[in-house]
Structure 1
Amino acid sequence: MANNIEVKELLDAGVHFGHLTRRWDPNMAPYIYMERNGIHIINLYKTAAKIDEASEALKKIAASGRKILFVATKKQAKEIVAEKASKANQPYITERWPGGMLTNFVTIRKAVKKMASIDRMKKDGTFNTLSKKERLQVDRLRAKLEKNLGSISDMTRLPGALFVVDITREHIAVKEAQKLNIPIFAMVDTNSDPRQVQYVIPANDDASKSIDKVMTYVSDAVIEGLSERKASKEAPKKEAPKKEAKADAPAKVEATVEAPVTEAAKQEEE
């Protein structure tokens, strides 16, 4: 994976641009290369190494079958994160973070089930028996639930990890994950405290190009992990028919042995 991460690509995407020097967090000092025109410049060699480290860990989590919840509610990250997470078949939150999403997961699951029950009502015809006003209320509730929780409808248990874009903005999500000891992966800019997360990716978390570039590496790693899991599941299925074929082999041998004997018997009869 490390060989695939080109520092030049990160540079072209503007991953190296940090915040104004007066807005920096001193704990980000190890990841800062220099200061230019009052802006901190991130060390992209460290960024590349951290992306590689995070990607390997995410690949293992995906291969184990656990979900990775992607969180990004800022305008420039919403669509990118939704697209990359969907491509990797992972849950994501791009609207407002629902308080207690992790710490009160049972209640969130109830809301998701409510969405499923409304869908069942529409299928079995119960929905049509409601009055016009009730149908309108149910439709509004369904739309609201879909907007906020539709992207996590397949997440039946707590995620194996959290991937966050901008930990300062998503501080509630970070705190909930910390409370439950869920590993946190994050794009961390120069104005944030990297000590809050286990896997830090020092990067510009404001520019859409930067977010897209890092998310591409991350989602590819998750997809790779899912492919490995699928391959390991299919391997035993492929071995089973081979064993059956071996069992059939003696029968074929017997058939070939019997053939000459019957030919010889025919000659004797003649």
Structure 2
Amino acid sequence: MRKNLGPWTWAVTLACAAVVGCQTVQTTQPGVVGVSREQRVSPLINRAELNQQAGLQYRQVLGEAQKKQTLNRDGEDVARVRRIADRIIPQTAVFRPEAVNWKWEVNVISSKELNAWCMPGGKIAFYTGLIDGLKATDDELAQVMGHEIAHALREHAWERASKSATAGLGLSIIGIALGADQGQMDLAGLVYNVTFELPNSREHETEADRIGIELAARAGYDPRAAVTLWQKMAKANDGAPPKWLSTHPAHEDRQSDLKVYGDKVMPLYEQAKRSGRAVL
């Protein structure tokens, strides 16, 4: 005799179908640091559309900064950051050959924030708080540059969007089946983010640290600066990371990991320094 499936069973079945629909991708080569985790992305998120939206968002951010007269105000800062980018971007070929041909763009926004980011497709912004307020050396800025570029190379935005889309679909199906109200749905989403999104965010940060330190080393920037950079950040924030790093690995764990991987890529840095040019 066939039994009727209850709403919970149907909800779980449909939610699982959404998850199973994800595909596995390998966005980058492992490099010396050996980042080789396979990533799962959802067909619900179109990568091309995601990148297009990122570009539009970048233009919006620059437009707002232009109106406030905070875009590229200090020519020396702009030239300095772009010079570092010009050395690091060619190194992306080691991890992802086609990335060299992305439409890269680097701009500087005047703000006290200790912040920098790279959107999908190579749209970069640095904040003067990170450059001048932190009194960062070129080696330290290169660590930030490499880290942010690594996020774009690994397409962490696509991966996180996929997780959120799949979670949202699954939770919506479950909510409909169980008759959950909007407040319950919001709570369910919060629980999902805390349980699943936060650890993945830490994983992404570790990957970006490791790839970033290799990119910088290959470009001739001292990997030891990765540790001094985070020490400066901790000091600037009374021992705690900036808000934009609040979900990242603990400072002590991060510095320890950067020390290990800095030692691993030190030969690349030394080779670049001896030859007077970046290591490809």
Greater Cα radius of gyration, structure 1 or 2: 1
TM-score interval, normalised by the smaller of the two chains: under 0.3
TM-score scaled to structure 1, two decimals? 0.28
More strand per residue: 1
Greater length-normalized contact order (CA 8 Å, ≥ 6 residues apart): 1
TM-score scaled to structure 2, two decimals? 0.27
